[in-house]
Structure 1
Amino acid sequence: MRIDVAWSKVPKGGFGESGDTIELVERPLGGVSVILADGQGSGVAAKRISRLVAMKAVSLIADGSRDGAVARAVQDMLYTAREGRVTATLAVLSCDLHTKTMVIARNTPVPVLVRQDNVVFRLEGGAEVIGTYRRTRPAITELPLVEGTILLTFSDGVTNAGKRYGKSLPWDQIQEEMTALDIHDLQSWVNGLMMQTLLLDKDRPGDDVSIVALAVRGGDDSAIRTLSASIPY
């Protein structure tokens, strides 16, 4: 099997710096984790928060910590560093080859969409943002590592897209597309979802927008690893 990762992000309209941070880290016992952190507010100040959160998570995962422990440690770090005055959201999507599982750690009100065995369902609720309360815990979901699985999450700039104009994304249609999606087309599908999101806000998003997908596909026994990026500056 092969692990595919795709993401797309754009800052809030009028801001040059996104307040969201996305990081990819290899797990020391095999597999990868994708981290999406969304800092309070927008711009440079929010970026400082989200980067602090994401890089702490990267460090802990690289050291071998399990995802639940990572999320709790990041929460404690942010609460202590900012004395409970700053919030952030955190989502960690992992493919753990050691345990043969896919793990989703959530401290965000935004859902994670999961496709497994040709069924799409949502993981939502039961997950508070980090940074405000000392005992905040993550919502942890562990799924079997199954070929064809897709995990999709995003920042609240996606769920809030179009609200200024009385519109929203067609989630029923998106879930149908996800059900039928060929994982080879994962990045182009994520890009298309970003385009839909931006159109709802007339190409001037009201919040930072980030979309992240992690998938497992079969039929590939190549040992070659690839990574590509396209970044404006």
Structure 2
Amino acid sequence: MFRIQVAWSKMPKGGVGTSGDSVELVERPLGGVTLILADGQGSGPAARRISRLVSMKAVSLIADGSRDGAVARAVQDMLYTAREGRVTATLALLTVDFATRSLVISRNSPAPVVVRQEGRVFRIDGAAEVIGTYRRTKPQVTELDLVEGTICLTFSDGLSQAGRRYGREIDWAAWDARLAASDVDQLADLVDALMQDAVDLDQGRPGDDISIMALGVRRDDQSSLRRLSASIPF
């Protein structure tokens, strides 16, 4: 039996109380879970409305049984139609599908998905257009085997830009090494530490919304217990 671990962390742009990013977790009707990260154009409440529109449409489609590639295309068509091609958003889906016993990664985002699998750290990146601008935009979809110890991690562009105002940036070589050595049970600590690194690089005042989400797979002790915890300010 496998157990799925998930973790996410969000920080709004410095001086803006509302993050323009949305992160959601939805259970799949045939078994499995999907993590959703949507980043609306801009920042603050206006961007939040866009990301919520995108993420809630994705949640609804996944709950109805749609596959991730179809979900991403339908969300793109919805946003393009609703905003007449004038608003963009990014969308990333990380799925563990129990029915196919696979990991499915769907990207409409410039940010890569960083994967640790069987002792190797690699990136799923390359061309993946943002949604909302062009009628025929398609997602980049990658399917991987469901392997014990796998970790998938992705983020919004605020993480990629962290520190650049000060001539600094995330040391990905160091983080790849840390990811390679991490246990799946340490996923929340890993995400929190990466967020703190980004905030420190921006000297405590992020230049853009930062969101990080991660999903891991480990062997289980046959327990059927499910748990979820969160920490949310208001």
SS of the equivalent of 1:78 reads: helix
CA distance in 2, matches of 1:145, 1:191: 25
Q: Indicate the residue corresponding to 1:162 in structure 2.
A: 163
Aligned length: 233
The one-letter amino acid of 2:29's match is P
CA distance in 2, matches of 1:86, 1:28: 31
Deviation (angstroms), 1:219: 3.6
1:51 paired to 2:52: yes
CA distance in 1, matches of 2:57, 2:140: 18
CA distance in 2, matches of 1:192, 1:215: 16
SS of the equivalent of 1:173 reads: helix
Residue-by-residue CA offset, 1:129-159 (whole Å, 9 max, x unaligned): 0000000000000001111010000000000
1:79 paired to 2:72: no
Query: Aligned runs of 1:175-190 on 2, under 5 Å?
Result: 175-190=176-191
The one-letter amino acid of 1:136's match is T
Q: Indicate the residue corresponding to 1:218 in structure 2.
A: 219
SS of the equivalent of 1:53 reads: helix
Q: Indicate the residue corresponding to 2:6 in structure 1.
A: 5
Deviation (angstroms), 1:126: 1.6
CA distance in 2, matches of 1:111, 1:14: 27
SS of the equivalent of 1:174 reads: helix
Residue-by-residue CA offset, 1:21-43 (whole Å, 9 max, x unaligned): 00000000001000000000000
Q: TM-score w.r.t. structure 1 length?
A: 0.99
The one-letter amino acid of 1:185's match is Q
Residue-by-residue CA offset, 1:93-135 (whole Å, 9 max, x unaligned): 0000000000000000001001111101001112000000000
Query: Aligned runs of 1:54-65 on 2, under 5 Å?
Result: 54-65=55-66
The one-letter amino acid of 1:206's match is G
Q: Indicate the residue corresponding to 1:195 in structure 2.
A: 196
Residue-by-residue CA offset, 1:20-68 (whole Å, 9 max, x unaligned): 0000000000010000000000000000000000000000000000000
> Which segments of 5 or more consecutive residues in structure 1 lack a partner in the other structure?
none
SS of the equivalent of 1:195 reads: helix
Deviation (angstroms), 1:163: 0.4
CA distance in 2, matches of 1:160, 1:133: 25
Moved more, 182-191 or 87-96: 182-191
Q: Indicate the residue corresponding to 1:127 in structure 2.
A: 128
CA distance in 2, matches of 1:219, 1:93: 20
Q: Indicate the residue corresponding to 1:205 in structure 2.
A: 206
Q: Indicate the residue corresponding to 1:150 in structure 2.
A: 151
The one-letter amino acid of 2:104's match is V
CA distance in 2, matches of 1:53, 1:26: 17
Deviation (angstroms), 1:183: 1.0
1:171 paired to 2:172: yes
SS of the equivalent of 1:106 reads: strand
CA distance in 1, matches of 2:220, 2:19: 36
Q: TM-score w.r.t. structure 2 length?
A: 0.99
- Structure 1 runs (4+) deviating above 3 angstroms are none
Deviation (angstroms), 1:184: 1.0
Residue-by-residue CA offset, 1:175-217 (whole Å, 9 max, x unaligned): 1111110111110111000100000000100000000000001
CA distance in 2, matches of 1:220, 1:106: 32
Q: Percent identity?
A: 67
CA distance in 1, matches of 2:100, 2:79: 29
Deviation (angstroms), 1:3: 0.1
